[in-house]
Amino acid sequence: MEEHQVVPDVLDKVPANVLEVRYSDLVVDLGTVLTPTQVQNPPTYLKWAAEEGGLYTIVMTDPDAPSRQDPRVREFHHWMMVNVPETDVSKGDTWSEYIGSGPPKGTGLHRYVLIVYKQQGRIVPTEDKRKKSTANRTSWRTRDFAKANALGDPVAANFYQAEYDDYVPKLHKELASNITQ
């Protein structure tokens, strides 16, 4: 995470544990290069060292928007689940619906960081952000969200890298149509 500057761009320090992440049969391993086509749907498997009865927040963010060389919109958050009991993501509350990787053409590799925080109690979203759109997702800061919700340091994290492929225009078109709805 330090080698790829996830620390300090997104996190202050490397979490104690690596978040296990899979997209079907593809394993994310601290910088694995995947394609937007491969990650167009949410991960099929997430696992971390969870405490019995614990509630967790999962964040997926891209600190490289619009590019790693020019991250002026840092960060764009792609997904957020709150109130996840232990590791059962299906029983958590969707704060932001999953948006797969969609780096613009010619912007090189982007880092997509998945982070897990242990919550002190239930989190109630302050507004409905579940829609699959880009609203309220740019210039977002994982650190600020963690601080505002007293999440403390992350318990686990992992990341992959992706760059433009032929799926990206389809994703951008879908997101643009959601803005007008």
Tens-digit pLDDT profile for residues 90-136: 999 988 899 999 999 999 999 999 999 999 999 987 655 555 666 67
> CA-CA distance, 18 to 16, in Å (whole number)?
7
The answer, yes or no, to whether residue 181 has pLDDT greater than 50, is no
Average pLDDT over residues 6-29: 96
pLDDT averaged over every residue in the chain: 92
Buried b (16+ CB within 10 A) or exposed e, 6-38: beebbbeeebeeebbbebeebebeeebebbbeb
> CA-CA distance, 164 to 153, in Å (whole number)?
32
| Residue 176 identity | A
Average pLDDT over residues 64-80: 92
Instruction: Provide the pLDDT for residue 180.
Output: 44
What residue ranges do the domains of the chain occupy? Answer: 6-179
Please, which pLDDT band fits residue 140 given cuts at 50, 70 and 90? confident
By percentage, how much of the chain surpasses pLDDT 90?
Answer: 81
Q: What is the DSSP string of 29-59?
A: -SSEE--TTTTSS--SEEE--PPTT-EEEEE
CATH class, 6-179 region: alpha beta
Q: Tokens representing 38?
A: 């491969």
Length reported for the chain: 181
Average pLDDT over residues 54-81: 94
